[in-house]
Amino acid sequence: MFKHEKKLLHEVKVDRPNPTYAVLLQEQLGGPNGELKAALQYISQSFRIKDKAIKDLFLDIAAEELSHMEMVATMINLLNGHDVDAARVQSGVIEQHTLGGLSPMLVNSSGAPWSANYVNVTGDLPADLLSNIAAEQRAKVVYEYLYRQIEDRGVQETIDFLLNREEAHNALFREALNKVGVQGSNRDFGVDEDARLYFDLSTPERYFDNPAPTPTTFSNPRRSQYNPDHTH
């Protein structure tokens, strides 16, 4: 069962309206690496999971992503200001002024509608966890791009909070992957000869040796295990 509280998960600050930046921010409401995508991916995956710890983790984070979606939408709503007026959008799409009456919309920054094509669900724990780790890393990237293009301090602080939460989720999903161990698609990983070939099909140049695959695990989800020299 889902419940809603009127209180936001975290304060949202917007110093002044900026309809042009509202268009950029749509990317994290209705885009492929946005908050709705994250929430629905984790909820969808949770539907069939039997492992109680993983199921709980997915739903904890999914509920948080729904709450982030609400924060992003609140920012967009404030940035859109008070009047439909497409002329106030310097670049990017103007559909919020023709269709949505300045409401935050479930579209990306190009106005393309949110699609379940963004959601990856396989019913296989290692694969689903890797999908989530990748999704969180991409979400961080988009927030970094957005952060660089706004000078509004309130917006920057809100984005900064959201960006840091993606890092937290990323680390938790990695820890979970290490925890579930060799099951599902991580079984029988790299046992056949065909998995140890390298086809050098783009010429000239080759830089990597033949692979000798192992199941996917992460070296350092948590700081306590972290050796910075190792990662450079």
- Any idea which residues carry the catalytic annotation? 35, 65, 68, 136, 166, 169
Site for a copy of itself in 185-224 (CB under 8 A): 185-186, 189-190, 192-208, 211-224
Q: Is 7 exposed, middle or buried (0-12, 13-18, 19+ CB in 10 A)?
A: exposed
What are 155's two structure tokens?
């917006």
* Separation CA 220–CA 93 (nearest Å): 41
Site for a copy of itself in 150-179 (CB under 8 A): 160-161, 164-165, 167-172, 174-176, 178
What b/e sequence results for 188-222 when a residue is b if at least 16 CB atoms lie within 10 Å of its CB, and e otherwise?
A: eeeeeeeeeeeeeeeeeeeeeeeeeeebbebebbe
Write down the least CB distance from residue 175 to a copy of itself, Å.
7
Look-up: residue for tokens 């269709």?
99
Q: Does 79 bind a copy of itself (CB under 8 A)?
A: no
Sole binder of a copy of itself in the list 63, 81, 154, 156 (CB under 8 A) = 63
Cβ atoms 69, 144 nearer than 8 A: no
Size of the site for a copy of itself (CB under 8 A): 153
What are 121's two structure tokens?
């669900």
* Separation CA 137–CA 129 (nearest Å): 12
Kindly tell me which of 15 and 70 has the beta carbon lying closer to a copy of itself: 70
Sole binder of a copy of itself in the list 22, 146, 155, 159 (CB under 8 A) = 146
Write down the least CB distance from residue 129 to a copy of itself, Å.
9
Asked whether the CA dihedral 2, 106, 102, 109 is positive or negative, the reply is positive
Sole binder of a copy of itself in the list 15, 77, 81, 156 (CB under 8 A) = 77
Provide the phi-psi class of 217: left if phi over 0, else alpha when psi is between -120 and 50, else beta.
beta
Site for a copy of itself in 23-42 (CB under 8 A): 23-24, 27, 30-33, 36, 40
Site for a copy of itself in 107-126 (CB under 8 A): 107-124, 126
Write down the least CB distance from residue 101 to a copy of itself, Å.
2
Consecutive H or E run containing 76: helix 52-79
Q: Does 11 bind a copy of itself (CB under 8 A)?
A: no
Kindly tell me which of 15 and 185 has the beta carbon lying closer to a copy of itself: 185
Write down the least CB distance from residue 109 to a copy of itself, Å.
5
Q: Does 230 bind a copy of itself (CB under 8 A)?
A: yes
* Separation CA 106–CA 114 (nearest Å): 6
